[in-house]
Amino acid sequence: MKAIRVLLVEDHTIVRQGLKSLLEGKQMEIVGEAENGHAAVTLVRELSPDVVVMDIGLPRLGGIEAVRRIRKERPQTKIIMLTIHREESYLFKSLEAGADGYLAKDTAMEDLVAAINSVLNGKIYLSQNFPADTLEKFKKFQRSGKPVDEFSLLTNREKEILQLIAEGYTSRKIGDTLFISIKTVENHRANIMNKLDIHETAGLVRYAIQIGLVDRI
């Protein structure tokens, strides 16, 4: 039987190593590892894994935004979020972005294996701690045509800059990192604040933490 090709995306090395050792004995091949969202998108493009197991709180590019980009580039790859976040809002944002599964990090390894097999069979898999009607509730919300939150209104560049702001980057450092001018950074910052109706940096940081773009600090 052909091994399932898995990409692990997790910024904590010890967690990645643990997942790798546990999955490799279950007819799965870990074809790559990434510690941030940007690397995940690149590795999916290069390695074409069957399944991506990904955290939400990742540096440089958050897990939810990475899902959006992977889904756009390679829709056939299945994506499972493995996270500490149990709130329904994180689940809905992940599903809206295109995730196929959502598991809490304290789940049993058997559940992760079951989730991988389930999504490969075209099903959506959720942690058992969510109520039975959660998926139907999400589908009803989706049918309403409303975005889960204002984050979907931001451009890819604005999402990237919001994450860097939340990680404590100054406008100059953001400009140097993205190879754009400080003036361009400030223009993007103003657009972000207007779209989110948040007009202070501390508020942007709180918002980024709330939606899982960065980890709690």
42: in domain: yes
Q: Which of 85, 111, 143 is the last residue of a domain?
A: 143
41: in domain: yes
The parts of the chain modelled with pLDDT lower than 70 are 145-149, 215-217
Q: Do residue 102 and residue 154 come from a single domain? A: no
What is the torsion angle, in degrees rounded to the nearest 10, for the CA atoms of residue 69, residue 70, residue 74 and residue 80?
-150
pLDDT at 209: 82
Q: Do residue 115 and residue 38 come from a single domain? A: yes
Q: Do residue 101 and residue 74 come from a single domain? A: yes
Residue 65: CATH number of its domain: 3.40.50.2300
Contact 23, 6 (CB under 8 A): yes
d(CA 14, CA 139): 36
Contact 100, 71 (CB under 8 A): no
pLDDT at 65: 87
Q: Do residue 33 and residue 82 come from a single domain? A: yes
pLDDT at 146: 63
Contacts for 48 with CB less than 8 Å, ≥ 6 apart: 5, 74, 77
Q: Do residue 125 and residue 186 come from a single domain? A: no
- Could you report the per-residue pLDDT of 147-189, keeping only the tens digit for each? 666 777 888 899 999 999 999 999 999 999 999 999 999 999 9
215: in domain: no
pLDDT at 109: 85
Report the domain count for the chain. Answer: 2
Q: Do residue 17 and residue 67 come from a single domain? A: yes
217: in domain: no
Task: DSSP for 180-198, please give it.
Answer: --HHHHHHHHHHHHHHHT-
Q: Do residue 133 and residue 195 come from a single domain? A: no
Q: Do residue 108 and residue 165 come from a single domain? A: no
Query: Smallest Cα–Cα separation from 63: which of 35, 43, 88?
Result: 35
Task: DSSP for 88-126, please give it.
Answer: HHHHHHHHHHT-SEEEETTS-HHHHHHHHHHHHTT--EE
Q: Which of 86, 114, 143 is the last residue of a domain?
A: 143
Q: Do residue 101 and residue 77 come from a single domain? A: yes
Residue 167: CATH number of its domain: 1.10.10.10
d(CA 18, CA 177): 32
Question: Which structural domain range is residue 170 located in?
Answer: 150-210
pLDDT at 7: 98
Q: Do residue 179 and residue 127 come from a single domain? A: no
Contact 81, 101 (CB under 8 A): yes
pLDDT at 135: 87
201: in domain: yes
Does pTM surpass 0.95?
no
